[in-house]
Structure 1
Amino acid sequence: MRARLLLFALLLLAGCSKQSEQASLLAEVKRRLIERDARLSSYRLEGRTSEQGAEPVGFTFAYRAPQKMRGTLAAPISRTFSWDGERLFEQSDADKRFTTFQNQLSPERRAGFLTETFAPFTPEGFHAPLLPSSMSVKRTQHPRAPEAVELSAKVAEPGAESLEVAYTLRWPSLDFLGKQTRLPDGTVVEVRVEQEHCEKAIELCVPQKLTRWVKGENVGETTLSTVELNPALPNDTFTLAAPQGYEVQTKTLVDSAGK
């Protein structure tokens, strides 16, 4: 009886020790991700993205912390979106239309709106992954990193089934190496880093080529021809003015009714 109690106590201590180790590692990962974001205060990108069966589309993107963004899709789309921290600008060169959106969104809705608007311009790996507080972490390995960590969590929109999302990050710099999403029907969607751009001065790497996979099949890729980290980006990079001859209009961004 005494031996059984001793064994139970040892197992309990081992379990507690493992949980404590994971909690400590997770806290360290969060701290390092904040520090990493602070080292990358601005960037400018130029590249092309393609999906299976479609023509590649060129794009440019500029970002300056804490929340200024400008993205342009090349011809034949020829459209620019820019957020200067207070207003959204949309310039459509195809039909010579320029729209200024005044912001009356709540902070929560604004964050989601900006994520949706600029998602086509922002490859994975330039900012810390957005995961809920109830995430788990474990040490792992990767072909690009003998030491890495995997952050995983279940995420779900209201009224939808949960997805399993896992990010693999190089340790200890926490450079993005890949993302795997398991859909409710079991389909696995992956983003893989094929090439990187690294800068010793700020001790980090960012993706230069990413491929997208569904059920093990390559369905698209994004390749960056230009990667500038921490360039000087003045305010007028993000505050746009209507070109001569464009139709000009002003609209307002508001929360949906009932929110």
Structure 2
Amino acid sequence: MRARLLFLTLLVLAGCSRQREDAHLLNEVKRRLSERDARLTSYRLEGRTGEGGAEPVGFSFAYRAPQKMRGSLGAPISRTFSWDGERLFEQSDADKRFTTFQTELSPERRSGFLTETFAPFTPEGFRAPLLPAELSAKRTSHARAPEAVELAASVADPSGESLQVTYTLRWPTLDFLGRQSRLADGTTLEVRVEEEHCDKALELCVPQKLSRWVKGEKVGETTLSKVELNPTLPNDSFTLAAPEGYEVQTKTLVDAAGK
């Protein structure tokens, strides 16, 4: 009986020790991600992205901390979005339309809206991923990193279905190496880093080429032809003005509850 109690006690102690180690690792990951974001204060990208057999579309994107963004899609879409910290601008060259959006959104809704708006321009791996409160971390390895960490969480997709998401990051620089999502029906979605751009001064790497996979089959790819880290980006580069001859309109974004 005593031997059994001792064995159970050792199991409990081992479990507690592992929990403390995992909690320490998670705190360290969050700290290092914050420091990484602080080092990378701006960037400018150019590249092409495509899905399936569709013709790739050219795009460009610029970011300046804390939250200034400008993204453009090439022909045949020919559209630019820019957020100067207060207003969102949309310039559609296809139909010569220019819209300025004022915002009365709550900070949380505004953050989600901007994330959705600029998602087509922002390859993963430049800024820290948006992490939910309930998160676990463990050490692992990867083809691009003998030492890596996995961050796993269960989140809800837009339809409310449970989604299991796992990020793989290089240790200790926490460079993005991949993301895997598992839907409720078992379908797996993956983003893989195929090539990287590294900066010795900043002590970090960012993706140069990313591929997207569904159920183990490649469905899309993004390749960057230009990557500038910490360039000087003036404030006025994010505040757009309507070109001559464009239809101009102003709209206001409000929370649904505030209508």
Q: Please show how residues 126-205 of structure 1 align to structure 2 within 5 Å.
A: 126-157=126-157, 160-205=160-205
- Residue matched to 1:87: 87
Partners of 1:202 and 1:170 in 2: how far apart?
15
1:7 aligned partner: 7
Other structure's SS at 2:222 match: strand
- Offset from partner CA, 1:179-217 (integer Å, 9 cap, x none): 000011100000000000000000000000000000110
- Is the 8 Å Cα contact of residues 157 and 163 (structure 2) preserved in structure 1? no
Q: CA deviation at 1:247?
A: 1.0
Give unmatched runs, 5+ long, in structure 2.
none
1:48 aligns with 2:48: yes
Distance in 2 (CA, whole Å) between partners of 1:108 and 1:138 is 29
Aligned to 2:74: 74
SS of match in other structure, 2:15: helix
Rounded to whole Å, the distance in 1 between the matches of 2:61 and 2:49 is: 13
Residue aligned with 1:201, SS: coil
Structure 1 runs not aligned, ≥5 long? none
- 1:129 deviates by 1.2
Q: Supply the distance in 1 between the matched residues of 2:69 and 2:101 (Cα, whole angstroms).
A: 14
* Runs of 4+ off more than 2 Å: none
CA deviations 1:236-256 (Å, max 9, x no partner) are 110001111111111111111
- 2:75 is paired with a residue whose SS is coil
Over residues 126-175 of structure 1, what are the superposed CA-to-partner deviations in whole Å (9 max), with x where a residue is unaligned? Answer: 11111211111111010000000000010015762210000000000000
The amino acid that maps onto 1:167 is: Y
Which amino acid in 2 is paired with 1:232? T
The 2-side partners of 1:219 and 1:159 are apart by 22
> How many Å apart are 1:95 and its aligned residue?
1.0
Contact 2:154 2:162 survives alignment (8 Å): yes
Equivalent in the alignment of 2:59: 59
User: 1:257 deviation in Å?
Assistant: 3.7
Structure 1 residues 77-117: Cα deviation after superposition (integer angstroms, max 9, x where no partner)? 11000000000000011111111111111111101100110
Identity %: 81
Structure 1 residues 158 and 94, CA gap change in structure 2 (3 angstroms): closer
- Classify 1:55/1:158 alpha carbon distance in 2 versus 1 (closer, same or farther; 3 Å): closer
CA distance in structure 2 between the aligned counterparts of 1:212 and 1:85, rounded to whole angstroms:
31
List aligned pairs for 1:239-250, cutoff 5 A: 239-250=239-250
Listed one character per residue, the Cα deviations across residues 5-25 of structure 1 (whole Å, up to 9, x for unaligned) are 111111111111010110011
Q: SS at 1:55's partner residue?
A: coil
Give SS of 2:11's match: helix
Q: Which residue of 1 aligns with 2:25?
A: 25
Secondary structure of the corresponding residue to residue 202 of structure 1 = coil
SS of 2:133's equivalent in the other structure is coil
Q: Which amino acid aligns with 2:238?
A: F
CA distance in 2, matches of 1:256, 1:84: 23
- Give the TM-score normalised by the residue count of structure 2: 0.98
Q: CA RMSD in A?
A: 1.1
CA spacing shift, 1:80–1:158, aligned 2, 3 Å? closer
